[in-house]
Each structure stands twice: as structure tokens, then as C-alpha cells.
């Protein structure tokens, strides 16, 4: 019996090999090897979408006593009920893992990034690690959907409290939370939404943080207009494109305060776009936000402190204004230090995502007196090698760079590169054990849309890879171990490829160094260009790279979030192939097929059809090597044990990062467990531009 099963498995395997081999010709392909079983994962309790929150007026509201005493009664703040919307967002107690909470304490984050400033909608980074997520609120919200059954769901309401589709499905009317206010007390209205759309998304000179909020991300020809102060109306070319509700979540539709930003925007001022982008530098404090905490203090390379937003528009069922935590800190350190501090208890939170730190962190977390809990999730952290496919000018390439672009666009070249990567060795160089898996690229094996049978894997075959380079006319003419461009191309010099890398992560650097070594064996000279995160992103978004090592974003880990980034469906949606300003995209035939599948996926309401479209997509992607997969592995959430309301099994990454998925505004610390970490106890944000908080 066993024997029989084995034979049929071999037959099945060789059958799939030969089918793929026919199509791929020189290279033999197969499905990727079965990944090792995962380390124990946290168990998620799945819930219905509407069990998480609702919008309604409650009989009474309350806030921390010190706020009522020192601020409201002293006339420094309007009465709470006037600060809250008519119908606040109410988190239902039934969905809270530990129930309604109490006020106080701090969450101490540690990050490796650094703030560029507070103009999020003009693409300024605040240093990542969820700091921008704490400040920004978006029309819809998706991060908590990890606990909702994937089949029949859609994004949660947020700044858009509800929406209705027209009968023909081309119009979507969104109702904004009425009476919600920015943290300085100015009303949030449709004008903020329209300013964001017209002067950030549509304005080609402005790219909001995350790099994905281009107009095409909401569908070609989509328009948005104000109906009244609390109503906006979308018009789409397609009928019922519900997929765009995901694009309206983080990071693509989180409006900024128009009352602050509009006067600085070039359309309404004498400013240049650069001046607009930099109008609110990191030193500028108390920038108005819709999020639960407001930045009140900043010391370079040291710390950013955020205090509770007195106008926050979310409450619990008892009517307690959220957040429960009075303060959030961001220590400015390194990403590796985030893991170290979280397990040691001097920090409170980490997405354990760098395999180099897995073993030490696991050991410490297993000790009985460990201050933090650590739980692994699915294999959703993945890395790809991106090759720049633009041959018509994105990033204004010089002669060598242009020659590399032409190679990048050649399937046989990509096949040679992928076959020269020993993925087992790549994974083991990060961490030994059951963590990393062989990842050919494409959708993460941890998503519900993943299908191993539709995944084409080019096994390690250095000889075939070398033979292919030779066939392409890439030969080592000067005997230095590296192949040269053919005579007449880029001066016949060595094929030198510059690899863009984020120098803030050990993992990115190890992967890049591993690639340099493996490519040297193939005869390709790869040179690392390691930049800090902000510079790296700037180089990436402007197309100034030959190759790039990149940690996957949500389109590959969730499929439904950032879906338009799965293929070049527009001039600026792909991560490795964008059009230069004012030019068409020089799309490759297989990319066109991928883009068509993605558009059909976006337009389809039929789950079976969507699953099938993603199988076809995965096959095209991995067979044609749209990007070259490097490795994938699970991440673990590390969080201090004193926090309550952390949903069990929260993945560090799926629709968004865990900082969003745990819903920090409803996280609390029991009175007896509260630490004395607050730097500005009993203080609130000051007026925009004030140097610090107010007492
Ligand atoms: C960085 C970190 C992630 C996560 C995100 C949040 O990218 O590496 O773990 O914290 O920031 O934006």
C-alpha cells in the first residue's frame, strides 16, 4: 500500500515536471518541495465580521479622571460629549479577548526607522514600526480581518461608517462619521477626504506613504466627489468593484488634516512640492491626527512620545473614550534591538521577523519568568529579488543600466538567475530548523489563495544556468571570472548589477550577501547598494535600481489587500515595473496577461472564480519569474505579558502589520500590572506647533 502510494506520487510528480518542462524548455521545473511543518502557532478564534464594532450613541461617556478634573472642569477642553461624534465607533465587549478595560500605562515600541516628518500624505515616513498607523485613520480598516472567515468578508468601516452601492453597482456612496474631530478639535469632513483624493492621490507630484496610492489603485477612470460635509460618492467604471474597499484601508486612503496641509500645498500656495512635503518636520509637535495618539515630544535618535488624543472618536460599550493607554513611546534604535528589548522586557512589542533572532528570542521567551509572550503565525514573511523591467526610462538608466534592464526583461536570463540560487542554503544561512521554506516567488504559501500545484519552481541547477548565459552571448571575455556584455553593448564590460538593499535589517543584508556569492558562481558581478529605509524607498519608487531585495508587501500575503500591486495594472502599481513620467508602460506580454487576470479578479464577486484566477496568476508569475523568490518563513508576535485584549493568534503580517491588527486603541493593562513608564503623566497634546504637551 505504502509502496503503491509512493509510486503514484512519483508518477504524479514526474507528470507535472514534464508538462512544465515542455513549456519552459531548457529548464526542468516542478512544484516546490513540501515545506517543513511550522512551529506551533497561536490559535485564532474566528468571528463574524459584524461582531467587532458598530456605530451608535451611548447614554453616557467617560474619560480618565485626570482629564475630566484637570482639563474639562478647568475649561481647557470642551465637554467630552461635544468632542465625540454623534455616533462614535463602539467596540463590542463580546469581541474583546479580556473585555472592557481600564485607563493608564504606556506601550513602549522600539524601531529602527527614523522620522522624515509628519506629512504622511506626501509620503514622509515617520519611522515605521506602526507609528504612522497609530496616527492615521483610514476610510476602511482591514488589519483585524485576520480573525474573520476569509470567504465572505469585506473591510470594516472606520472613517467611513457605512456605504451603499447604486443598483447598477457603479456608484458607491460613503457616509463619514458625523461629528468626528481632528486631535486639535477641528471637524473631520468630506473636505479632508476630497483634499486627499484631489491633491495627493490624483496629483502626480505627490505620493502618499506606502507608495501604492496612485489613482489606478482605485480603478481606471474612478472619480470621487463631495455630496455634503459627511457624504462622498465614488463612481467606478466597473460594477460593484468591492475590491477597492480594501484599497481604502491603510495605507492608501488615510486622509491628512486639510486645514493644516492645504495652505502649504503648491496648488494653494507659493510652495514647491518639496516645500510642501517638508512643511512639518519631525521637530514640529502636536500635528493634528485622527489616530488615538498625538506626537508631543521628539529627540533625534532617542525617542518620539505620543499622548492620548482628547478628541478620539472611538469608545467601548461602557462609553469610555478610547484609547485605554495614555501614552505610546517609540524608542529610536534598531530593528534587531526591538526583538532584544521585547524579550527582555525593556520594550513591549516586536514583530519577530528576522530569522537571525529566532533562536535567542525563543529561548528567552520559554523561560518561566519571561516578561513577554511569543507566538508564531503562518509563513507570511517572504522575500523576493525584484528586477527592474522598465526599458523606456523609469529611473533614467545610463548605458549599463539600460543593458541590465534588457537582460531583466529576458525570460531566459531570469531562468538562469533563479536556477543559480540554492534556496535551501539561502534559508539555512538565516536560521537552521523548520522555519524557512523554499519559495519560488509569487503568492505566499500562507495565504488562502495559495495553490502549490500552480506554483512553478526552478530547482537549483548551476550548470544549466551557466549554459543559458552563454547562449545569451554573455561570456567571460577578459577571464576575470565574470561574464561580459556582448561587444557593442555597454562597452563589452563585465555585466555588473547593482542590488538595492535596506541596510536597516540583518535579513535583507544576509540575503543580499548570499545573492552576491551565488551570482558570482554564475559569473554575474552583483554590487550591493545598501541604503537606509527612507533613501532606499526613494530610490525604489523613482526606479533607480537594477535589482532590489525586498520583503513582500500585503498583496502577496493577503491577495485582497493592495491587489492592484500584484501586476502592472496601471503605470504605477507594480513594484518592479513602472512607467516613466508622461510615458506608457512597456509591458511584457506575460505581464499583460497577469494584469488582465488581476483586473478580472478585482471585478469578480464569485469566490470559486477568484480562486481559479489566482491559480492562473500564480502559474504565470512563477513560470515567467515576474520576481525571483528567495525565502519565506513565519514571524512571531512578541508582546509583554501585562497587556490585555491581544487577540490570540494575531499574525504579525497579513492584511497589515500586527501593530494595526491587535487594535492598540482597545489594548489595556490591569491596574495592578501597570508600569511607571509614562514620560508625560496626566498631560495632553498641545496646540499644533506647540513645542510639547500641555499640563
Ligand atoms: C517595519 C517593521 C515591521 C512593522 C512595520 C510597520 O517595516 O519591520 O515589523 O513594524 O514597520 O509599518
Angle between helical axes of 506-522 and 462-471 (0-180°, round to 10): 60
Residue at grid coordinates 501614552: 327
Q: Which residues does residue 427 pair with via DSSP β-bridges, in sequence order?
A: none
Please indicate, yes or no, whether residues 99 and 180 belong to a single structural domain of this protein. Answer: yes
**Cβ of 324 less than 6 Å from ligand 1:** no
Is the minimum distance from the CB of 130 to ligand 1 under 6 angstroms? yes
CA distance linking residue 193 with residue 57, whole number of Å: 24
32 is a domain residue: no
By most ligand atoms within 8 Å of CB, the mutation choice from 120, 129, 540 for ligand 1 is 129
pTM score, whole prediction:
0.94
- Tell the residue nearest (CA) to atom 3 of ligand 1: 129
Question: Does 351 contact ligand 1 (Cβ within 6 A)?
Answer: yes
Q: Which residues pair with 694 in a beta bridge?
A: 684
State in Å: Cα 112 to ligand 1 middle.
9
Q: Are residue 545 and residue 458 in the same domain, yes or no?
A: yes
Same structural domain, 118 and 92: yes
Element (H, E) at 617: helix 607-624
Q: Where are the beta strands (DSSP E) in 445-568?
A: 496-502, 525-531, 547-551
pLDDT of residue 7: 40
Say how many Å lie between the CA of residue 579 and the centre of ligand 1. Answer: 28
Q: Is the CB of 353 under 6 A from ligand 1?
A: yes
Q: Domain for residue 243, yes or no?
A: yes
What is the CB neighbour count within 10 angstroms for residue 126?
A: 27
| Full DSSP string of 374-417 | EEE--S-EEEEEEE----S-TT---HHHHHHHHHHT-HHHHHHH
Report which ligand 1 atom has the smallest distance to the Cα of 113.
1
pLDDT at 312 over 50: yes
Q: Take residue 525 and report the three cell numbers written for it.
A: 558581478
3 has a pLDDT exceeding 70: no
Q: Which helix (H) or strand (E) holds 610?
A: helix 607-624
Instruction: Please answer whether residues 214 and 220 qualify as being in contact, where contact means their C-beta atoms are separated by less than 8 angstroms.
Output: no
Q: Which of 299, 295, 341, 348 is nearest to 134 (CA)?
A: 295
Q: How far is the CA of 20 from the centre of ligand 1 (A)?
A: 37
Once rounded to an integer, what is the mean pLDDT over residues 415-423? 98
Query: How far is Cα 507 from Cα 374, in angstroms, rounded to an integer?
Result: 20
* 241 CB within 6 A, ligand 1: no
> 532 in a domain, yes or no?
yes
What contacts 24+ positions apart, CB below 8 Å, involve 395-401? 395/542, 395/543, 395/544, 395/545, 395/580, 396/543, 396/580, 399/490, 399/491, 400/490, 400/493, 400/496, 401/498, 401/546
> Is there an atom of ligand 1 within 6 Å of 295 CB?
no
CB of 439 sitting under 6 A from ligand 1? no
Count CA atoms within 13 Å of residue 690 on its CB side: 15
Is residue 365 domain-resident?
yes
Question: What is the mean pLDDT of the segment spanning 643-669?
Answer: 97
Output the residue whose Cα is nearest ligand 1's atom 8.
129
- 125, 128, 133: which to mutate for ligand 1, most atoms within 8 A of CB? 128
Q: Given a cut of 70, is residue 10 above it in pLDDT?
A: no
Distance separating alpha carbons of residues 451 and 615, to the nearest angstrom:
6
Q: What are phi and psi of 576, to 5 degrees?
A: -125, 5
Query: 221-265, pLDDT tens digit by residue?
Result: 999 999 999 999 999 999 999 999 999 999 999 999 999 999 999
In angstroms, what is the span from residue 658 Cα to ligand 1's centroid? 9
Reported as type and span, the H/E element at residue 81 is helix 80-83
Would you state the pLDDT for residue 618?
98
Is residue 374 helix, strand or coil?
strand
Ligand 1 pocket check for 118: Cβ under 6 Å: no
pLDDT band for position 2 (cuts 50, 70, 90): very low
Indicate whether 110 and 181 sit together in one domain. Answer: yes
In contact, 562 and 454? CB cutoff 8 Å? no
- Domain co-membership, 534 together with 662: no
In this predicted structure, the answer to whether residue 1 has a pLDDT above a threshold of 50 is: no
Give the containing element (helix H, strand E) for 375: strand 372-376
Q: How many residues does the chain have?
A: 695
Distance of alpha carbon 296 from alpha carbon 694, whole angstroms: 9
Q: What is the pLDDT of residue 410?
A: 98
Q: Is residue 463 located within the same domain as residue 320?
A: no
Residue 327 and residue 240: Cα distance in Å, rounded?
Answer: 41
Residue 97's pLDDT band, with cuts at 50, 70 and 90, is very high
280 within some domain: yes
Beta strand pairing call for 496-502 and 525-531: parallel
| 308 and 427 housed in the same domain | no
Is the CB of residue 128 below 6 angstroms from any atom belonging to ligand 1?
A: yes
DSSP 362: H
Please tell me the distance between residue 586's alpha carbon and the centre of ligand 1 in angstroms: 32
Domain end among 633, 648, 665: 633
| DSSP label of 201 | I
Residue 481 covered by a domain: yes
Judge if 119 and 78 occupy the same domain: yes
Cell digits of residue 343: 524579550
Out of 138, 332, 659, give the residue to mutate to test ligand 1, the one with the largest number of ligand atoms within 8 Å of its CB. Answer: 659
Task: Tell me, in angstroms, the distance from the centre of ligand 1 to residue 204's CA.
Answer: 26
pLDDT average, residue stretch 167-178: 98
Largest alpha-carbon pair distance within the chain?
83
DSSP three-state, residue 329: strand
Examine residue 62 and state whether it is found in any structural domain, yes or no.
Answer: yes
Q: Residue with the nearest Cα to atom 10 of ligand 1?
A: 129
| Residue 504 and residue 113 in contact, taking contact as beta carbons nearer than 8 Å | yes
Check which CATH number belongs to the domain holding 595 and give it: 3.10.105.10
DSSP string over 408-477: HT-HHHHHHHHHT--HHHHHHHH--SSS-B---SSS-TTSTT--GGG--B----HHHHHHHHHHTT-B-T
Q: Does residue 8 form part of some domain?
A: no
Query: pLDDT at position 96, please?
Result: 98
Pick the atom of ligand 1 nearest to 351's CA: 9
Instruction: Say if residue 493 is in the same domain as residue 392.
Output: yes
Q: Which residue's CA is minimally distant from atom 5 of ligand 1?
A: 129
Ligand 1 centre from 41 Cα, in Å? 20
Cβ of 126 below 6 Å from ligand 1:
no
CATH number of the domain to which 211 belongs: 3.40.190.10
502, 533 contact by CB (below 8 A): yes
Find all residues with CB under 8 Å of 396, minimum gap 6, and list them.
Answer: 543, 580
- What is the pLDDT, as a whole number, of residue 153? 82
Cα 462 to Cα 448: distance, rounded to the nearest angstrom: 33
The percent of residues above 90 in pLDDT, for the chain, comes to 92
Q: Nearest 5°: CA angle at 218, between 215 and 222?
A: 75
How many angstroms does the Cα of residue 127 sit away from the middle of ligand 1?
9
Domain residues for the domain of 621 are 379-633
In a shared domain, residues 443 and 465: yes
* Residue 426: pLDDT over 60: yes
pLDDT at 18: 43
Q: With b meaning 16 or more CB within 10 Å and e meaning fewer, what string describes 327-337?
A: bbbbbbbebbb
Q: Phi and psi (nearest 5°) for 538?
A: -60, -45
pLDDT of residue 25: 53
Strand order in the sheet with 231-235: 160-165, 171-176, 231-235, 223-228
Alpha carbon of 685 to ligand 1 centroid (Å):
25
Q: Give which of 188, 284, 280, 184 is closest to 229, Cα–Cα.
A: 188
Q: What is the Å distance from ligand 1's center to 367 Cα?
A: 26
DSSP 135: H
Split into its structural domains, the chain has a count of: 2
pLDDT band at 38 (very low <50, low <70, confident <90, very high): confident
356 CA → ligand 1 middle, Å: 16
Cα–ligand 1 centroid distance for 96 (angstroms): 24
How does the average pLDDT of the chain come out, rounded?
94
CA-closest residue to ligand 1 atom 11: 129
CB of 129 closer than 6 angstroms to any ligand 1 atom: yes
> Among residues 633, 652, 684, which one ends one of the domains?
633
pLDDT at 4: 43
Determine the atom of ligand 1 nearest the C-alpha atom of 533.
7
Locate 52 and state its grid cell: 467587532
**Ligand 1 in reach of 250 Cβ (< 6 A):** no
- Whether ligand 1 lies within 6 angstroms of the CB of 686 is answered as no
128 and 271 co-located in one domain:
yes
Q: How far is CA 157 from CA 53, 223, 535, in A?
A: 9, 20, 34
Residue 211 confidence (pLDDT) above 80: no
User: How does strand 156-157 pair with strand 140-141?
Assistant: antiparallel
What's the average model confidence in pLDDT over 571-593?
96
Check whether residue 369 and residue 396 sit in a common domain. Answer: no
Task: Provide mean pLDDT across the span 127-133.
Answer: 98
Strand, helix or coil at 297?
strand
* Average pLDDT of the segment spanning 34-52: 90
Alpha carbon nearest to ligand 1 atom 1, residue:
129
Going from the Cα of 354 to the center of ligand 1, the distance in angstroms, rounded, reads 11
Amino acid at each position: 500500500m505504502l509502496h503503491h502510494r509512493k509510486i503514484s506520487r512519483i508518477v504524479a510528480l514526474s507528470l507535472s515536471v514534464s508538462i512544465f518542462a515542455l513549456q519552459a524548455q531548457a529548464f526542468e521545473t516542478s512544484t516546490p518541495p513540501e515545506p517543513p511543518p511550522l512551529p506551533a502557532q497561536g490559535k485564532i478564534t474566528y468571528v463574524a465580521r459584524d461582531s467587532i464594532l458598530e456605530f451608535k450613541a451611548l447614554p453616557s461617556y467617560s474619560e480618565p479622571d485626570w482629564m475630566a478634573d484637570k482639563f474639562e472642569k478647568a475649561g481647557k477642553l470642551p465637554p467630552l460629549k461635544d468632542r465625540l461624534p454623534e455616533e462614535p465607533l463602539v467596540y463590542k465587549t463580546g469581541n474583546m479577548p479580556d473585555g472592557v478595560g481600564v485607563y493608564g500605562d504606556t506601550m513602549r515600541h522600539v524601531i529602527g526607522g527614523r522620522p522624515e516628518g509628519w506629512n504622511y500624505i506626501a509620503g514622509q515616513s515617520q519611522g515605521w514600526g506602526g507609528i504612522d498607523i497609530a496616527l492615521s485613520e483610514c476610510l476602511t480598516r482591514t488589519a483585524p480581518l485576520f480573525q474573520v472567515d476569509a470567504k465572505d468578508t469585506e473591510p470594516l468601516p472606520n472613517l467611513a461608517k457605512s456605504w451603499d452601492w447604486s443598483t447598477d453597482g457603479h456608484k458607491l456612496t460613503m457616509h463619514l462619521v458625523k461629528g468626528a474631530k481632528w486631535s486639535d478639535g477641528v471637524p473631520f469632513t468630506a473636505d479632508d477626504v476630497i483634499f486627499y483624493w484631489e491633491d495627493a492621490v490624483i496629483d502626480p507630484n505627490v505620493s502618499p506613504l506606502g507608495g501604492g496610492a496612485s489613482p489606478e489603485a482605485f480603478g481606471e477612470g474612478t472619480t470621487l466627489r463631495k455630496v455634503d460635509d459627511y457624504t462622498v460618492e465614488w463612481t467606478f467604471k466597473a460594477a460593484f468593484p468591492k475590491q477597492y474597499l480594501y484599497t481604502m484601508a491603510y495605507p492608501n486612503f488615510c486622509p491628512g488634516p486639510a486645514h493644516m496641509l492645504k495652505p502649504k500645498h503648491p496648488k494653494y500656495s507659493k510652495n514647491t512640492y518639496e516645500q510642501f512635503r517638508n512643511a512639518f518636520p519631525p521637530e514640529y509637535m502636536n500635528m493634528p491626527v485622527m489616530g488615538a495618539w498625538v506626537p508631543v515630544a521628539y529627540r533625534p535618535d532617542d525617542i518620539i512620545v505620543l499622548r492620548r488624543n482628547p478628541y478620539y472618536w472611538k469608545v467601548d460599550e461602557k462609553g469610555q473614550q478610547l484609547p485605554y493607554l495614555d501614552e505610546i513611546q517609540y524608542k529610536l534604535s534598531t530593528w534587531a534591538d526591538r526583538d532584544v528589548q521585547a524579550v527582555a522586557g525593556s520594550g513591549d512589542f516586536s514583530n519577530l521577523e528576522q530569522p537571525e533572532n529566532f533562536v535567542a528570542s525563543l529561548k528567552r521567551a520559554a523561560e518561566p519568568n519571561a516578561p513577554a509572550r511569543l507566538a508564531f503565525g503562518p509563513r507570511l514573511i517572504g522575500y523576493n529579488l525584484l528586477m527592474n523591467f522598465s526599458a523606456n526610462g523609469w529611473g533614467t538608466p545610463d548605458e549599463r543600466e539600460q543593458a541590465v534592464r534588457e537582460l531583466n526583461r529576458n525570460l531566459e536570463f531570469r531562468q538562469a538567475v533563479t536556477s543559480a540560487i540554492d534556496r535551501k542554503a539561502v534559508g539555512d544561512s538565516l536560521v537552521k530548523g523548520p522555519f524557512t521554506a523554499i519559495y519560488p516567488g509569487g503568492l505566499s504559501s500562507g495565504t488562502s489563495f495559495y495553490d502549490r500545484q500552480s506554483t512553478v519552481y526552478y530547482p537549483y541547477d548551476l550548470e544549466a544556468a551557466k549554459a543559458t548565459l552563454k547562449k545569451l552571448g554573455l561570456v567571460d571575455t577578459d577571464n576575470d571570472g565574470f561574464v561580459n556584455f556582448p561587444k557593442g553593448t555597454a562597452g563589452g564590460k563585465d555585466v555588473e548589477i547593482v542590488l538595492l538593499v535596506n541596510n536597516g535589517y540583518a535579513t535583507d543584508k544576509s540575503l543580499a550577501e548570499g545573492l552576491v556569492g551565488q551570482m558570482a558562481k554564475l559569473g554575474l558581478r552583483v554590487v550591493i547598494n545598501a541604503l537606509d529605509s527612507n533613501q532606499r524607498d526613494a530610490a525604489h519608487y523613482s526606479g533607480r535600481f537594477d535589482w532590489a531585495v525586498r520583503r513582500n508587501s500585503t498583496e502577496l500575503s493577503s491577495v485582497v489587500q493592495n491587489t492592484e500591486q500584484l501586476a502592472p495594472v496601471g503605470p504605477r502599481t507594480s513594484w518592479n515595473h513602472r512607467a516613466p513620467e508622461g510615458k506608457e508602460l512597456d509591458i511584457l506580454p506575460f505581464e499583460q496577461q497577469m494584469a488582465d487576470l488581476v483586473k478580472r479578479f478585482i471585478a469578480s464577486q464569485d469566490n470559486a472564480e477568484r480562486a481559479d484566477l489566482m491559480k492562473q496568476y500564480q502559474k504565470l508569475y512563477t513560470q515567467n519569474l515576474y520576481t525571483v523568490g528567495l525565502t519565506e518563513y513565519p514571524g512571531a508576535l512578541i508582546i509583554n505579558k501585562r497587556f490585555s485584549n491581544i487577540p490570540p493568534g494575531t499574525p504579525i503580517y497579513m492584511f497589515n502589520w500586527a501593530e494595526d491588527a491587535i487594535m492598540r486603541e482597545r489594548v489595556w493593562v490591569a491596574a495592578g500590572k501597570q508600569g511607571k513608564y509614562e514620560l508625560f503623566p496626566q498631560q495632553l497634546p498641545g496646540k499644533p506647533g506647540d513645542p510639547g504637551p500641555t499640563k
